Amino acid sequence: MKKTRAWIALTVAIFMLSACGQPEFTYVRDREGSTYFKVPSSFTQLNAYPIELYLSGDHPNSQAAQLRAQRVWSTAFDQSAQPSVAHLLGSADPFVYSTVHKLTDEQRDAISLDRLRDFILPVTEQVREVYVARAMQSGQSPLFHHFELISDEPVVLEQGARGVRVRFNYQIGNDVQTFDQTALLDERGAMVSVLVITCQSVCYRQRAAEFDKITETFKLLRLPGWMKELQ
């Protein structure tokens, strides 16, 4: 009997140690430590470089791609059983993409809340019209169809930083994909941090509360000496 109890106690202890060894979240900071968020550890982290090439249209061996790599940090997480960066634009499972951009002087002069809305995909009416026109000029059918705005909310930040959270649908192929994007501009007007959570619309409606919890962790961090830079 004593041996049986000892075996049960050992089994429970091993189970508890195993459970303690599995963190609940993956904690994420960008290259310079200015932006922070966390995702459940059930997500697989991916190399987001192919996403950067797709969004920018740059050739990987071009000078533009090399310069962009110096200014842009990004990462991606996929909860699919078969993770892929392609799931940013279509998946029944949640996908998270985050990027931090050091703005050029030209970009700093032009930044606005509308630019934040359009930072990843065309959201505002003007940019959506430009997107469709360019696709038609190239002889290709637009990938994104039937835009639907779900919500558009300003994000209140301290010390002059500002942001916007916009949720919207696009039909991509035969499915409707929901995008939940939060874009933040730091107090210097020099850096944009973006978090996108996406999955098919049915998935998003069922799991919106989970995605809200991820978005709530998305923050700008003040590094040592940040006040001196403002002066």
Write out pLDDT tens, residues 100-154.
Answer: 999 999 999 999 999 999 999 999 999 999 999 999 898 888 999 999 999 999 9
Model confidence at 20, in pLDDT bands (50, 70, 90)?
A: low
pTM of the model: 0.85
Q: Average pLDDT in the 76-82 region?
A: 97
- Distant-in-sequence, close-in-space partners of 143: CB < 8 Å, separation ≥ 6: 89, 135, 172
Token reading at 223: 């590094």
Q: Kindly report, residue by residue over 139-164, the tens digit of the pLDDT.
A: 888 999 999 999 999 998 888 899 99
Q: How many helices (H) and strands (E) are present in the chain, helices listed first? A: 8, 10
CATH superfamily to which 24-230 belongs: Mog1/PsbP, alpha/beta/alpha sandwich (3.40.1000.10)
